[in-house]
Structure 1
Amino acid sequence: MKIQTSVPTGKVARASQFMKAGVKVGGNYIKHYSKKLLDPNLSRDELHKDNAADIYDALSELKGSALKMAQMLSMDRGLLPIAYSDKFTMAQYSAPPLSGPLVVKTFKTYFGKTPSQLFDSFTIEAVNAASIGQVHQAYKDGKKLAVKVQYPGVADAVSSDLKIAKPLAVRLLKLNERDIDRYMGEVESKLLEETDYDLELKRSIEISEACAHIPGLVFPKYYPELSSKRILTMDWLEGMHLKEFMKTNPSQEVRNLIGQALWDFYDFQIHTLRQVHADPHPGNFLMRADGTMGVIDFGCVKVIPDFYYDNYFRLVNPDTLEDAVLTEEIFENLEFLTDADSPKERKFFSDLFIDMTRMLAEPFAVESFDFGDDSYFSRVYAFAEGLANVQELKNSKVARGSQDGLYVNRTYYGLYAMLNELKANVVTTKPEWLRSAKLVV
């Protein structure tokens, strides 16, 4: 694997990487249209593959928020062509690692000691390298440890990276610039939190202790004395990431056990703790043949405000949609509808969001749900693709939806996607007040 000896940290150096990616993308388009003159039936598959490779290469050298955005996009299978989502998936756990001297330098900065002075043994080569940091294996007092080391400069570059990346996102992904601006503050605050390992240590201990009673889940012990603002040390957990695990052909029973643990984990966090591990991508879970699963990385945690929680989950109960007045009130509270909407716009957007809510809440409308049902996900992805072409949304004078919904929706999207890949059938536990009156126990 390619080893990275430095990370661009200055604004100019990082901006140059984004510009380099933009130039390469432009060149790929020129190459594509030149070929298309000779072959009018040429598909865009090669173009997407070339663009994905060039953009990923640029972002992987930048690390931090730039690579984190690629990781987030890899989860949104309906948003990007498959060439992009496949390539960007590498950001979840296999980005190019930093060289040994940079790792040692980070330890000296925050501990005044080298890794070999802190641990009985320390593997200088990274075992995994993702967007914000990379993981090393170590031993101390007979315990096998995972030591996460943050890439240098990523915390300081979050705000500037987001501003620089915005034009690329608008051009490449055809995203609405107004929508990007609306949610930029939420994304920026979460990315800044992810670079604060002191905060992650605190949240990791609190949430893992609170969720320790959930069957099938395994959490590491964390070591504050071996952790700092940029280094985090915990027990080493054995297990496989989702794709690797599925290659072992686990039984339906084992897949259901893991799927149930995943569902119960999120159900308890959201409805009891009112804060949630909002980064449900496969790189954060380690699955085992006995049906248990390790949970790691509490860097991205969304605290759910009571007002948003009360309104959002009232919609999840399918009985709510039968009450037109209540539904319209909730849509206003969640900022799907605004005072500036004409009667025609209110009717259009109400119907649109009712259809979307009914579809995404289907797992809550039954006692158990087969997430292996690809027909359900085909409908969801087709609906999402259709939304991208709705002119009324494109031309709307306001962005639709509360900022708080960004990470809550992302959480459920990631959870659903993992359960689908597991082909798990789970009991969709929920608070009693979210149950439809039509459900028979």
Structure 2
Amino acid sequence: MKSQTSVPTTKVARASQFVKAGVKVGGNYIKHYSKKLLDPDLSKEELHNDNAADIYDALSELKGSALKMAQMLSMDRGLLPVAYSDKFTMAQYSAPPLSGPLVVKTFKTYFGKTPTQLFDRFDSQAVNAASIGQVHQAWKDGKKLAVKVQYPGVADAVSSDLKIAKPLAVRLLNLNERDIDRYMGEVESKLLEETDYELELRRSIEISEACANIPDLVFPKYYPELSSKRILTMDWLDGLHLKEFLKTNPDQEIRNRIGQALWDFYDFQIHTLRQVHADPHPGNFLMRADGTMGVIDFGCVKVIPDFYYDNYFRLVNPDTLENAELTEEIFENLEFLTPADSPKERVFFSDLFKEMTLMLAEPFAVDSFDFGDDAYFTKVYAFAEGLANIQELKNSKVARGSQDGLYVNRTYYGLYAMLNELKARVTTTKPEWLRSKKELV
């Protein structure tokens, strides 16, 4: 893959990339409808492929929050046409890397030394390149290390990138600008945190030490003396990303073992630590033939407020939805229902969110769940697709759902999607208070 010798850092240069992508997308539409005049049965497959390639090429040159947006969208199967999600998946660990001189410049800025002066050996060719930074192999005192180097300028461009990207998101996702604005602050704060490698270093050490006793999980050791605000050094972990791992055709026992480790990892973080690795895409996990799994990248961590936690997870207990008064109170607390709703709207949205809650909580309602059950995921994706066509949602005067739910829901969505790809059956451990009292009788 060809490396980049520079990254656009000024607002004008970055805005120009979005404009260029928009012009190409417009040209693709003209080309598509011109062909459709000759062939009325022409599908949009070629249009989606062309648009996905052009948008990804533009975002990959910008790096940072622009490319992170593509990475996040790639996790939402059913939200975008397959061509987009397949192409944007590359943002998880296969973006175009930066050239060697730019990497050296970053080291000189933060350490006053070149990589070869800090390490016994440093490979200037990146082995992985994602949205915020890229990873190099290095060696020091006989240890093989992973060194993550942040792209220049991405931290300073987060806020302006999100403003520029909003029209593109509105067009691609067919979302209301009001809905996007509601969550923009949450997204912006998380992206700014992801560019702070000193914060990531502290969280990485804290969470990996807290989760060290969970079976089959492996965490790297981190090196503060070889890290800075834009450079992070840790032990190198061997393993394969999910798609490559599945190509080795692991048996069901290994799939279940890794799936259980994933479930237990998130169960402990959410219910014990009340903060969670909120970026569960395949690029952050390294799977091994022996059933163990390495966990990396604690840049995106969602701290879950107690008020949100208490209300959100009360809905997981199936007894709650049988109590209409309690359910309505929780829906109000989670901002699914608002004071401005008419009686008719309250009934409609209550029924809608009850249906959604029951569906997404199905794994919690049993002691073990087969995430290889494609019928369950077909139902979930069909429901999500149907939401986009509900006029009451489109015409609603308010955006619904607490902004705290954005990354909590994304966490579960990503976890479920990975478990589905693994085709894993797991024991769905949970706090006792989330179990129905009927189970305990």
Distance in 2 between residues matched to 1:66 and 1:410, nearest whole Å: 18
Q: CA deviation at 1:208?
A: 0.1
Q: Secondary structure of the equivalent of 1:178?
A: helix
Cα separation, 2, equivalents of 1:214 and 1:175: 40
Contact residue 97 and residue 134 of structure 1 kept, 8 A: yes
Q: Give 1:438 shift.
A: 2.9
Shift of 1:437: 2.1
The CA deviation at 1:417 is 0.1
Q: Distance in 2 between matches of 1:173 and 1:213?
A: 41
Task: String of CA shifts for 1:12-47, please: whole Å, max 9, x gaps.
Answer: 000000000000000000100011111111000000
How big is each residue's C-alpha offset from its partner over 1:235-269, in whole Å with a ceiling of 9 and x where there is no partner?
Answer: 00000000000000001000000000000000000
Aligned match of 1:216: 216
Tell me how far apart the structure 1 counterparts of residues 173 and 47 of structure 2 sit (CA, whole Å).
14
Structure 1: where are the runs of 5+ without partners?
none
Superposition deviation, residue 318 in structure 1 = 1.0
Map Cα deviations across residues 161-182 of structure 1 (whole Å, 9 max, x no partner): 0000001111122111110000
Distance 1:438 1:228 in 2: 53
Q: Deviations over 1:249-294 (max 9, x none)?
A: 0010000000000000000000000000000000000000000000
State the Cα deviation string for residues 204-249 of structure 1 (Å, max 9, x = none). 0000000000000000000000000000000000000000000000
Q: CA deviation at 1:428?
A: 0.2
**1:56, 1:204 → 2: CA distance?**
29
In structure 2, C-alpha distance between the alignment counterparts of 1:209 and 1:370, rounded to whole Å: 30
Instruction: Choose 76-85 or 431-440, whichever is displaced more.
Output: 431-440
Partner of 2:164: 164
**Alignment partner of 2:315: what SS?**
helix
What are the residue-to-residue correspondences of 1:8-47 with 2, within 5 Å? 8-47=8-47
Structural RMSD (CA): 0.7
- Kept in 2: contact 1:92–1:130 (CA 8 A): yes
> Is the CA contact 1:366–1:439 (under 8 Å) kept in the aligned structure 2?
no
User: CA–CA distance in 1 between the matches of 2:221 and 2:197?
Assistant: 15
Separation of aligned partners in 1, 2:262 and 2:3: 34
2:63 corresponds to which residue?
A: 63
Mapped to 2, the partners of 1:48 and 1:320 lie a distance apart of 43
Render the CA deviation track for 1:151-170: whole Å, top value 9, x for unaligned. Answer: 00000000000000001111
Distance in 1 between residues matched to 2:264 and 2:2, nearest whole Å: 39
Structure 2 SS opposite 1:438 = helix
CA distance in 1: counterparts of 2:435 and 2:134, whole angstroms? 42
Could you tell which deviates more after superposition, 274-283 or 172-181? 172-181
Other structure's SS at 1:369 match: strand
After TM superposition, list the pairs within 5 Å mapping 1:25-424 onto structure 2.
25-424=25-424
Aligned residues: 441
TM-score by length of 1: 1.00
Contact 1:315 1:357 in 2 (8 A): yes
How far off its partner does 1:439 sit?
A: 2.8
Q: Deviations over 1:384-422 (max 9, x none)?
A: 000011000010000000000000000000000000000
Distance 1:45 1:438 in 2: 49
Q: Deviations over 1:86-121 (max 9, x none)?
A: 000000000000000000000000000000000000
Q: Give the superposition deviation at 1:440.
A: 5.9
Contact between 1:212 and 1:219, CA under 8 Å: does it hold in 2?
yes
Within 2, Cα distance between the matches of 1:226 and 1:88?
31
